[in-house]
Amino acid sequence: MASFLISGATNALGLALAEEFAEARHQLLLHGRNPQRPVPVAQRFRARRYIADLSALAEIQRPAAEVAARHGRLDVLVNNAGAASPGTAPSEACQRTGTSSGRR
């Protein structure tokens, strides 16, 4: 049984992935930004939940330390969380964050 941490696991793709991994009986660690949203999802999958706004470095470090302390290891990180303004092109969002969209 592998342990999976899924960021942005409270809806859309993150929720669908949680369903798939739970069905395969993996240990789930679910991330969400809103303290209220991950509760029903975590209860549904008997998963541990982690609340953090991943746009702030301190918020990334805290749950990372909690996962390390509680679980010792993490087999898979599904980095699904992200944000962009509605109507923002991927290349424009990447310019704002300093990342690459993979497009040429």
Beta-strand relationship, 3-6 and 48-51:
unpaired
Assigned CATH class of 3-97: alpha beta
- Supply the pLDDT for residue 102: 45
Beta-strand relationship, 27-32 and 48-51:
parallel
Q: Where are the domains of the chain?
A: 3-97
- In terms of pTM, does the model score above 0.75? no
Q: What are phi and psi of 8, to 5 degrees?
A: 65, 40
- Supply the pLDDT for residue 83: 61
Per-residue pLDDT of the chain (104 residues; tens, 9 = 90+): 789 999 988 888 988 999 999 999 999 999 988 887 767 888 888 898 888 888 888 888 888 888 889 988 889 999 988 765 566 555 554 555 444 444 43
Which residue is associated with the tokens 């302390």?
A: 69
Contact 3, 27 (CB under 8 A): yes
- Supply the pLDDT for residue 88: 55
In Å, how far are 21, 31, 65 from 6, measured between CA atoms? 10, 6, 16
